[in-house]
């Protein structure tokens, strides 16, 4: 049974259940021959078995059930009336079907049977215009033909045995007795349970987990060895029970995928293409609620692959590809999550075409498009209102689709990404949690309140103490940032987003999270511990709060709100909404965007304001002051297996104020001629300034002087400074 195809297994389980119900229904029908509800139920059951066995290729079983269906159709229509001979014949049909099902379960086929006599009797009863006569006594071997008689006869068993009746005759298949009372391994190993009952059981287990957490918390404060041992036993049993119940909710993703071959086939015919579907890992299991949530997104992605991805047979032939396109569905577990890939070998996504369409539809500016890499451009397909279709059809072109896919995936704590190569195909990767009912979470504190963060979104924890807490956080365009391993990490203060009082301490706690495929840091007052929490949905009145994904009852009985990581990112202006808003602001001021330059605003020693064109800045670095050395009389630091010449802006432009502090802050420029660093006192902000209309500066090394935020600011002539720094230092 381990190798039995899942579809065949489901067919056997369902058919065995139907057989047991048919026995009861047929006996009840004999007592109430005019009961249309029972007749309809019997007819639908036989019809379902007939249709499914035809699909699976069981011809003998299909033939027998087809004849029985014809007889039941006349009974249902009122053309014939149920009597004892008809009931006996139908019970014989049930026994024959059950015998074939058992042979299919054991051997994978129906076996060698001779059901001609049974078929003939069912046909005779169906054709009779008057109630049929009782069948004559019969022979016991189905393979032995009956003697010629005016009317066909059949060895039909009596109804199921009772105290007053004899047991039914057996059917012989391949010499193996298949009694109607035999148990089926496949039916015995499966039990159908109402989904509502499973949900209720899951809720009860959730409450048990809450009680377990409360007892564990109490056991920590109680120094009682016996109580602690009992608590640990309870913890073990609860964990095993939780895992067992969650397994009952798990379903293979193949349940969703099974409909895709038909979807692809119909759509391929509509689009005039040839496409096949391949599946890997369809036995990968997910929670039932997750399965329901990803049905529509997966369907849309598959339809997009056929419509937009796969080329026509003629076009594929010109490219040297097989005429038949291929869509691969792959699923696997990794890191406590489920990874789903939908890959096609079609034409791929053309980055330049995507950029052009996004600019044409006003989704981004032409300047932003020019700065985008091909990988960044491909992700534009997730923008609301985006479509590359030239015309609207019943398949695509309305600009509603991939943005909804992304939103629905993120609602269940997942993430979606896309990679594509021209003429090689496109792959969409989805990462989603296994379940939403009970999840591990990190508990954090803010203004004395506790909040839970789903661990699936957690990347790492950072703590800043002492000087790092004071100087480690900088500001760019009004957004606080922290330099994490050379990369600027945007920060969001939880108390600011939630409108809570701000508490300043000696240390800064940063929870590094990922939202919308981008990391950001969430600054909190305290970090507690990780704990398994039971997710409780918010009430209807709280559904609209964007920063919360649910609630959980903690071990002390208090409620902790579960943070929506994506909602927090957007509220803190580090998510997708802030980028869309910035793009809209740029579109509203096209004239200004064409004449302004982005500048990195810095302060030299003594507070002198200076600016560096942002497109000439490669990195922002920090070095300990003791790393400062000298080469050919010029300051340098060892940097990336070489020497980085430095220009002290305060010294270069004759400032009387010396550099202070134990850290050198350096703006690194990297051009064709080499790398040079500019020593500054502080990084202030990034601003957009109209430099073209500013008055040129007459001081060597300065390009112009402009007024920025009410202060006179000197814009550096970076090429001139670089040339001077490299003249005496050989890298």
Q: Summarize pLDDT for 602-636 with one digit per residue, the tens.
A: 888 777 889 998 888 888 888 888 888 988 888 89
Q: Is 273 within 8 Å of 310 (Cβ atoms)?
A: yes
Q: Does residue 645 or residue 187 have the better pLDDT? A: 645
* Highest mean predicted confidence (pLDDT) among 151-155, 556-560, 588-592: 556-560
Q: What is the side-by-side order of every strand in the sheet holding 548-553?
A: 526-534, 438-446, 449-454, 559-563, 548-553
Nearest CA to 532 among 435, 409, 413? Answer: 435
Q: Is 308 within 8 Å of 266 (Cβ atoms)?
A: no
* pLDDT of amino acid 389: 57
Q: What is the mean pLDDT of residues 305-332?
A: 90
- Out of 158-162, 551-555, 570-574, pick the least confident: 158-162
CA torsion 79→81→85→89, rounded to 10°? Answer: 60
Q: What is the mean pLDDT of residues 13-27?
A: 78
* pLDDT of amino acid 398: 37
What's the pLDDT tens digit per position in 551-564? Answer: 888 777 788 898 88
Neighbours of 218 (CB within 10 A): 13
What is the band of 78 on the pLDDT scale with cuts at 50, 70, 90?
A: confident
Residue 472 pLDDT greater than 70, yes or no:
yes
SS3 content of the chain, % helix, strand, coil (to 5): 40, 25, 30
- Out of 87-101, 464-478, 493-507, pick the least confident: 464-478
Beta strand 425-433 with 415-421 is: antiparallel
Q: Is 28 within 8 Å of 38 (Cβ atoms)?
A: yes
Q: How far apart are CA 257 and CA 330, in angstroms?
A: 10
pTM: 0.45
Q: How far apart are CA 163 and CA 342, in angstroms?
A: 61
Distance of CA 527 to the CA centre of its chain: 28
Nearest CA to 701 among 679, 723, 680? Answer: 723
- Out of 89-103, 374-388, 589-603, 709-723, pick the least confident: 589-603
- Out of 66-70, 441-445, 545-549, 560-564, pick the least confident: 545-549
**477 Cβ contact list (under 8 Å, min separation 6):** 685, 686, 687
- Out of 128-142, 207-221, 487-501, 668-682, pick the least confident: 128-142
Residue 454 pLDDT greater than 90, yes or no:
no
CA distances from 507 to 91, 481, 492 (A): 80, 16, 16
What is the band of 512 on the pLDDT scale with cuts at 50, 70, 90?
A: very high
Q: How far apart are CA 202 and CA 184, in angstroms?
A: 29
Q: In degrees rounded to 5, what are phi and psi of residue 712?
A: -70, 130
Residue 338 pLDDT greater than 90, yes or no:
no
Residue 458 pLDDT greater than 70, yes or no:
yes
Nearest CA to 292 among 347, 253, 248, 259? Answer: 253
Q: Does residue 50 or residue 133 have the better pLDDT? A: 50
Q: Is 479 within 8 Å of 486 (Cβ atoms)?
A: no
Question: What whole-number percentage of the chain has pLDDT above 90?
Answer: 9
Q: What long-range pairs does 681-684 form, CB within 8 A, spacing at least 24?
A: 681/602, 681/603, 681/604, 681/605, 681/606, 681/607, 681/650, 682/602, 682/603, 683/474, 683/476, 683/600, 683/602, 683/620, 684/475, 684/601, 684/602, 684/603, 684/609
Mean pLDDT of the chain: 77
Residue 639 pLDDT greater than 90, yes or no:
no
Residue 691 pLDDT greater than 80, yes or no:
no
Q: How far apart are CA 246 and CA 438, in angstroms?
A: 9
What's the pLDDT tens digit per position in 524-554? Answer: 999 988 888 877 777 667 766 778 878 888 7
What is the band of 160 on the pLDDT scale with cuts at 50, 70, 90?
A: very low
Environment class of 352 (CB within 10 Å of its CB; exposed 0-12, middle 13-18, buried 19+): exposed
Q: What is the side-by-side order of every strand in the sheet holding 682-689?
A: 682-689, 597-603, 609-613, 711-716, 702-708, 695-696
Q: What is the mean pLDDT of residues 448-473?
A: 84
Q: How far apart are CA 21 and CA 132, in angstroms?
A: 25
Beta strand 325-334 with 285-287 is: unpaired
What's the pLDDT tens digit per position in 653-666? Answer: 866 666 666 788 89
- Out of 191-200, 244-253, 458-467, pick the least confident: 191-200
Residue 305: DSSP 8-state: I
Domains in the chain: ranges and CATH: 6-188 (1.20.120.160), 195-248 (1.10.287), 252-433 (3.30.565.10), 441-572 (2.40.50.180), 596-726 (2.40.50.180)
Q: What is the mean pLDDT of residues 249-276?
A: 85
Nearest CA to 551 among 568, 539, 567? Answer: 539
Nearest CA to 346 among 372, 378, 310? Answer: 310
Q: Does residue 263 or residue 587 have the better pLDDT? A: 263
E runs forming strands in 448-571: 449-454, 458-465, 473-476, 479-484, 487-493, 507-515, 518-524, 526-534, 548-553, 559-563
* pLDDT of amino acid 343: 93
What is the band of 185 on the pLDDT scale with cuts at 50, 70, 90?
A: low
* Highest mean predicted confidence (pLDDT) among 53-62, 239-248, 302-311: 302-311
9: which 2 tokens? 């297994």
Nearest CA to 135 among 158, 153, 114? Answer: 153
613: which 2 tokens? 């064109």
What is the band of 130 on the pLDDT scale with cuts at 50, 70, 90?
A: very low
* pLDDT of amino acid 149: 34
- Out of 310-314, 430-434, 626-630, pick the least confident: 430-434
């Amino acid at each position: 049974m381990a190798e039995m195809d899942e579809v065949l297994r489901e067919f056997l389980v369902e058919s065995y259940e139907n057989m047991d119900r048919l026995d009861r229904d047929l006996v009840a029908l004999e007592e109430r021959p005019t009961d249309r509800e029972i007749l309809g139920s019997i007819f639908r059951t036989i019809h379902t078995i007939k249709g499914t066995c035809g699909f699976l290729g069981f011809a003998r079983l299909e033939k027998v059930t087809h004849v029985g269906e014809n007889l039941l159709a006349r009974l249902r229509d009122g053309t014939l009336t149920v009597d004892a001979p008809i009931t006996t014949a139908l019970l014989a049909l049930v026994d024959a079907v059950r015998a074939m099902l058992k042979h299919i379960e054991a051997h994978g086929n129906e076996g060698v049977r001779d059901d001609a006599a049974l078929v003939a009797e069912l046909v005779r009863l169906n054709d009779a215009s008057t109630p049929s006569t009782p069948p004559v006594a019969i022979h016991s071997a189905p393979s032995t033909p009956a003697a010629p008689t005016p009317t066909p006869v059949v060895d039909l068993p009596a109804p199921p045995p009772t105290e007053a009746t004899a047991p039914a005759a057996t059917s012989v298949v391949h010499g193996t007795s298949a009694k109607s009372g035999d148990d089926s391994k496949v039916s015995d190993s499966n039990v159908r349970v109402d989904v509502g009952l499973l949900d209720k059981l899951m809720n009860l287990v959730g409450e048990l987990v809450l009680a377990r957490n409360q007892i564990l918390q109490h056991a920590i404060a109680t120094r009682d060895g016996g109580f602690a041992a009992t608590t640990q036993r309870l913890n073990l049993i609860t964990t095993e029970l939780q895992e067992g119940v969650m397994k009952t909710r798990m379903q293979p993703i193949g349940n969703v995928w099974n409909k895709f071959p038909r979807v692809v086939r119909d759509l391929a015919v509509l689009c005039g293409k040839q496409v096949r579907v391949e599946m890997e890992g369809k036995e990968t299991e997910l929670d039932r609620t997750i399965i329901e949530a990803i049905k529509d997104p997966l369907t849309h992605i598959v339809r997009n692959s056929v419509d937009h991805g796969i080329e026509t047979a003629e076009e594929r032939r010109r490219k040297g590809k097989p005429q038949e396109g291929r869509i691969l569905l792959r699923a696997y577990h990794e890191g406590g999550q489920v990874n789903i890939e939908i890959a096609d070998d079609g034409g791929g996504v053309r980055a330049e075409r995507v950029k052009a369409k996004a600019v044409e539809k006003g989704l981004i500016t032409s300047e932003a498009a020019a700065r985008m890499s091909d990988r960044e451009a491909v992700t534009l397909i997730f923008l609301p209102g985006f479509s590359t279709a030239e015309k609207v059809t019943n398949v695509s072109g309305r600009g509603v689709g991939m943005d909804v896919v992304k939103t629905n995936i993120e609602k269940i704590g997942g993430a979606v990404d896309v990679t594509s190569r021209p003429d090689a195909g496109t792959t969409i990767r989805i990462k989603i949690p296994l379940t939403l009912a009970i999840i591990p979470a990190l508990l954090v504190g803010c203004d004395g309140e506790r909040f839970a963060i789903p661990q699936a979104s957690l990347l790492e924890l950072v703590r800043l103490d002492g000087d790092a807490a004071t100087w480690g956080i900088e500001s760019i365009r009004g957004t606080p940032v922290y330099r994490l391993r050379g990369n600027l990490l945007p920060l969001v203060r939880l108390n600011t987003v939630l409108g809570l009082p701000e508490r300043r301490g000696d240390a800064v706690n940063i929870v590094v999270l990922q939202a919308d495929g981008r990391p950001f840091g969430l600054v909190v007052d305290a970090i507690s511990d990780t704990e398994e929490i039971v997710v409780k949905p918010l009430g209807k009145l709280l559904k609209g709060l964007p920063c919360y994904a649910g609630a959980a009852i903690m071990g002390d009985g208090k409620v902790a709100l579960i943070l929506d990581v994506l909602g927090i990112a957007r509220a803190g202006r580090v998510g997708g909404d802030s980028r869309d808003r910035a793009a809209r602001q740029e579109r509203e001021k096209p004239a200004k965007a064409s004449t302004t330059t982005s500048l990195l605003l810095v302060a030299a020693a003594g507070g002198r304001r200076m600016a560096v064109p942002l497109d000439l800045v490669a990195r922002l670095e920090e070095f300990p002051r003791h790393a400062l050395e000298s080469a050919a009389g010029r300051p340098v630091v060892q940097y990336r297996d070489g020497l980085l010449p430095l220009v002290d802006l305060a010294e270069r432009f004759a400032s009387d104020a010396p550099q202070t502090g134990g850290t050198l802050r350096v703006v690194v420029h990297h051009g064709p001629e080499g790398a040079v660093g500019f020593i500054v006192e502080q990084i202030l902000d990034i601003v957009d300034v109209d430099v073209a209309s500013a008055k040129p500066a007459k001081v060597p090394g300065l390009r112009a002087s402009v007024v920025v935020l009410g202060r006179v600011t000197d814009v550096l002539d970076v090429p001139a400074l670089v040339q001077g720094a490299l003249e005496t230092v050989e890298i």
